[in-house]
Amino acid sequence: MEKKRVFELFNENEVIESVTPQTITNAFAELSQGKFHVLILEASPAFESSPFIQVAWEKGLYTIEIQFDNEGQLQQFRKETGEIEECLTLFLNYHSEKLPDKTGWQDVSSEINYYYDDEEAGVARETSHPFFVKHFTDEIYYNITDDYAPFGNDTGNDALRMLEERLAEDDDLEDFEELPAFISTTWGFDYLDSLKIQNEPAFIENHQSEVIKSNQITVAVGFGVIKITGGISFQLKKRAILALEQLANAIPEGRTSYQQQIEAMKTYHGYDE
């Protein structure tokens, strides 16, 4: 007997109970009023390989995306419109198990897939997320011999490899902020969080080698998460920037390089900013 399909409707703040055409219509009314900015309708089990449709509002423009999962091969398509009624119709049709005609939709599958380096080729643009390649254009982000580069020192390079392994093992992992501590613990030493020690100059000076190693891990994870997934949280971004600032103070000869990375990270837009 085929499992009955269940729909779940939610925004960035709450799950909306009892999914009906009326609750979907009400949710779009609230979206138009700016009470939230993202609305997602999930189908379980997926129908015709589609697990969800979503809409996001920003600066008067609605971006609709629909995903398809064909035995682990993800495809995602995007359409932009200024008409909320068009978005509502697509959601109501989806709830009625009618997929949209994707003519004119943009295939954005490359944005949602994870990117892992080839073990032999090493860090490369070709095996990095398109968002990373577009924003981080300098060669330093692909350099594996420059000690001041995110992946150039042994600690940073090893952290990137462990990050890749962790995400490949669990591609549903969402708590990226704990990954620096996870890597440190796996390596058998206590992680010194750049956020927690930022106002303790005496501690930093007295534990310089441990601080440097922890910060190199944090920097590698910060840039690495963007390199693999294309996104970063505000907290992890903030932690990486502080780590770079602490490295610049601890290793003055690398200050110019670290400052360049700080500016590049500051201007990268996190997904929750």
Residue by residue, DSSP assigns 128-164 as S-HHHHHH--SGGGG-SS-TTSTTTSHHHHHHHHHHH
For residues 25 and 39, what is the distance between their CA atoms, to the nearest angstrom?
Answer: 12
End of a domain among 111, 141, 163? 111
Give the pLDDT of residue 218.
Answer: 97
153 and 178: one domain? Answer: yes
Give the pLDDT of residue 2.
Answer: 58
First to last CA, the chain: 45
Residue 1 lies in a domain: no
What domain range is 221 assigned to? Answer: 115-266
Residue 19 lies in a domain: yes
34 and 137: one domain? Answer: no
Contacting residues for 181 by C-beta, under 8 A, at least 6 apart = 191, 193
For residues 133 and 126, what is the distance between their CA atoms, to the nearest angstrom?
Answer: 9
78 and 123: one domain? Answer: no
Residue 45 lies in a domain: yes
253 and 142: one domain? Answer: yes
Number of domains present in the structure of the chain: 2
Residue 98 lies in a domain: yes
| Helix, strand, coil % in the chain, rounded to nearest 5 | 45, 20, 35
Across-strand partners of 75? 68
Give the pLDDT of residue 70.
Answer: 86
180 and 81: one domain? Answer: no
248 and 127: one domain? Answer: yes
Smallest CA-to-CA distance from 220 within 265, 157, 169, 168 is with 157
22 and 68: one domain? Answer: yes
Q: Consecutive 10-residue runs of the chain (273 residues): their mean pLDDT?
A: 82 89 96 92 94 91 94 89 96 96 91 87 92 95 97 97 93 85 94 90 90 97 96 94 96 97 95 76
Residue 272 lies in a domain: no
162 and 247: one domain? Answer: yes
25 and 55: one domain? Answer: yes
36 and 132: one domain? Answer: no
Reported pTM: 0.76
